[in-house]
Structure 1
Amino acid sequence: MEIRSESDLLELIKRDKWMMEILCWVNELNLPDWWICAGFVRSKIWDTIHRYESRTAIPDIDVVYFDPLIIDEYQEKKWEERLLNRSPDIPWSVKNEARMHLVNGIPPYTSSVDAISKFPETATALGLKLDENEQLLLAAQHGIEDAIHLQLKPTPYIKQRPDMYKIYKERVMKKNWKSIWPLINVHDD
């Protein structure tokens, strides 16, 4: 399937039984302002464009939510445990974005989508969730163009902060995405 638009991407995800099952499991937790983001979405796009027959390995499934009332990391671990009980073979990572600004040493986020928009790469700053009617939603504050055109670029937030830009460059080196998806174009700007 060719991905030219957000609706194409959503249709691609809807056809992926594994991804939809994961979205349903997280939806059952009723987390406030939740999304599954980052590599979960980007890898599906890049695998599809590279015409891979099977899914590339994902180091973890990033679940984010926003709850300013309970910012204890212990609560995140409880959510991870519930997901692990549901599917122990999936490497779950659950983070409350209402506390992650403390970890990252930056001003507080206003929502999960705000946090996603400040991820290091535009192609990774994507999230999926099910709404109250179980309709699939996409968070893409920077659009999906970089992801579908195989462009790996820093988000505007990262570009304007030299301390954070260093993280982008380190991630590009460490993750070595080009060895997995050779058609991507890595930007240093």
Structure 2
Amino acid sequence: MDTLCYSGLPLEEQRAAFLAIVLADPLLRDALARARTLDLPDWLVVSGALYNSVWNHLTGKPSGYGIRDVDLFYFDDSDLSYEAEDAVIRRAEKHFEGLPLPVEVRNQARVHLWYPQKFGRPCPRYSNASDPVCYFASKTHAVGVRYDADRLVLVAPFGLDDVFSFRITPNRVMDNQQTHEVKGARARECWPEITVVPW
């Protein structure tokens, strides 16, 4: 397969190809089906598991190759306590038992409470699960998918051309240079076709 066969196509064609690849991947199909039945408010599977699976498909690598975990965002501002989020995380552990990769579940309504302590700088207070996707260190990573009724919906604020062009492009909205470079270097080890655009 031509690895760049979707590069440069109109967004609607890229969206259709992206969602078809996601649904054809057994790991993602199972993760999304389980996420749907976990019944979290405003949920979204984001980032690496998605774009890595697209790269695996286009380069002929097996499902799950190069993927560390599945990131599952949800948004619930009714209780911002650690305990409430921890209860959801523990429920999710049982719900996703048997999936070949761990699922990391995080309430995006709480991020502004712990982010400054962990990363030494503030982050915005998000208003839904899609907001944080706009702040990822690389525009390429800013993708999310969820079910809306029986339809798979894509969140991709910067489009999909970077993903389909094997290009990791910085998102300079926050000071995330180190994350961009570290993730870019790791991705190149797994998919040498990738170009990392300098910060």
What corresponds to 2:196 in structure 1? 186
**1:9-32 deviation line (CA, Å, top 9, x unaligned):** 111222223312211111112211
Structure 2 counterpart of 1:97: 108
* Residue deviations 1:27-67 (CA, integer Å, cap 9, x gap): 11221111011111111111122221443042111000111
Q: TM-score w.r.t. structure 2 length?
A: 0.82
Deviates more, 1:140-149 or 1:56-65: 56-65
- Name the CA distance, whole Å, in 1 between partners of 2:86 and 2:34: 16
Whole-angstrom distance in 2 between the partners of 1:138 and 1:177? 22
Q: In the aligned structure 2, how far is the partner of 1:54 from the partner of 1:116?
A: 23
Corresponding residue SS for 1:123: helix
Q: What residue number does 1:169 align with?
A: 181
2:134 matched to 1:117?
yes
- 1:127 to 2:144 alignment: yes
Match of 2:97 among 88, 92, 100: 88
Contact 2:168 2:197 in 1 (8 A): yes
Q: Deviations over 1:129-166 (max 9, x none)?
A: 111x22111110111110110111112xxx144x3334
Equivalenced residues, count: 182
SS at match of 1:128: strand
8 Å contact from structure 2 (residues 31, 96) kept in 1:
no
- C-alpha distance in structure 1 between counterparts of 2:162 and 2:66, whole Å: 21
- Structure 2 unpaired stretches of 5+: 116-121
Query: Is contact 1:77-1:94 (8 Å) kept?
Result: no
Comparing 43-52 with 84-93, which one deviates more in the overlay? Answer: 84-93
Taking structure 1 as reference, are residues 92 and 74 closer, same or farther at Cα in structure 2, changes over 3 Å only? farther
- Structure 1: gaps of 5 or more residues: none
1:24 aligns with 2:33: yes
| Pair 1:33-2:39 in alignment | no
Name the stretch that deviates more: 140-149 or 27-36. Answer: 27-36
Alignment match, 1:59 = 68
Secondary structure of 1:28's aligned partner: helix
**Cα deviation 1:58-87 (Å, max 9, x = unaligned):** 211100011111222333332232232233
